[in-house]
Amino acid sequence: MTKPVVLQRHSNIPESLKRRGDSYVLASVKDPKGSAAWEELWARALGASIYEICCIPMFAYDLHAFDRVETNDQAQIVRLVSRGGHLTFRVFFQTIDQHERISLVERITSRGGSVEAHSPKLIAVDVPASLASEMAAELAALESDGKLEYETGAMSGRSDA
The pLDDT, as a whole number, for residue 11 is: 54
Domains and CATH numbers, the chain: 5-82 (no CATH), 86-152 (3.30.70.600)
Query: What is the pairing mode between strands 50-53 and 68-71?
Result: antiparallel
The pLDDT, as a whole number, for residue 13 is: 63
The pLDDT, as a whole number, for residue 2 is: 41
For 97, residues 6+ apart whose C-beta sits below 8 A from its C-beta are none
What is the strand order of the sheet 148-152 is part of?
114-119, 122-128, 86-93, 148-152
Whole-angstrom CA distances from 45 to 6, 65, 87, 94, 142 are 21, 14, 21, 37, 38
Q: Return the closest-CA partner of residue 57 out of 49, 69, 45.
A: 69
d(CA 155, CA 107): 26
Coil vs helix vs strand at 40? strand
Tens-level pLDDT at each residue, the chain (161 residues): 344 444 455 555 666 677 777 899 999 987 667 677 889 999 999 998 999 999 999 989 999 999 999 999 999 999 999 999 999 999 998 887 888 888 888 888 888 888 988 888 899 999 999 999 999 999 999 899 888 999 998 876 544 44
Burial of 146 (0-12, 13-18, 19+ CB in 10 A): exposed
The pLDDT, as a whole number, for residue 151 is: 94
